Structure 1
Amino acid sequence: MLIGYARVSTDDQHLDLQRDALSQAGCERIFEDKIIGAQAEREGLARLIGSLRPGDTVVIWRLDRLGRSLKNLLQLVERLDGLQVGIRSLQENIDTTSSGGRLVFHLFGALAEFERNLVRERTQAGLSAARKRGRQGGRPALLSPTKKALALKLHQERNHTIEEICNMMGISKSTLYNYLNKAGQDATGMA
Structure 2
Amino acid sequence: MAGHIIGYARVSTNEQDLTAQRNGLAALNVPEDRIYVDHGLTGTNRERPGLREALAACRAGDTLVITKLDRLARSLPDARDIIEDLTKRNVKLSIGGSVHDPTDPVGRLLFNVLAMVAEFESDLIRARTREGMQVAKAKGKLRGKQPKLTKSQEAHLISLYKGGQHTTTEIAELFKVARSTVYRILQRTVP
Q: TM-score, normalised by structure 2?
A: 0.67
Aligned-pair Cα RMSD in Å: 3.7
Shift of 1:75: 2.8
Q: 1:62 aligns with which of 64, 67, 70?
A: 67
Deviation at 1:103, TM superposition (A): 1.7
Alignment-derived partner of residue 4 in structure 1: 5
Of residues 148-157 and 39-48 in structure 1, the stretch that sits farther from structure 2 once superposed is 39-48
Q: State the shift of 1:45 in Å.
A: 1.8
Distance 1:85 1:166, change over 3 A: closer
Q: Distance in 2 between matches of 1:30 and 1:141?
A: 45
* 2:57 paired with 1:48: yes
Seq. identity, %: 18
Judge conservation of contact 2:8–2:36 (CA < 8 Å) in 1: yes
TM-score (norm 1): 0.67
Of the two, which has the highest radius of gyration?
Answer: 1
Q: Which residue of 1 aligns with 2:39?
A: 37
Question: 1:165 pairs with 165, 168, 171, which one?
Answer: 171
Tell me what 1:106 maps to: 112
Runs of at least 5 residues in structure 2 that lack an aligned partner in the other structure: 11-16, 42-47
Which structure has more relative contact order (CA 8 Å, sep 6+)? It is: 2
Q: Confirm or deny: 8 A CA contact 1:70 1:112 kept in the other structure.
A: yes
- How many pairs align? 175
Give the match's secondary structure for 1:141.
coil
Residue 14 of structure 1 deviates from its aligned partner by 9.1
Aligned-pair CA distance for 1:147: 0.9
> Residue 21 of structure 1 corresponds to which residue in structure 2?
28
Matched to 1:33, the amino acid is I
Deviations 1:64-87 (A, max 9, x none): 5972x3345443212112334432
Shift of 1:46: 4.6
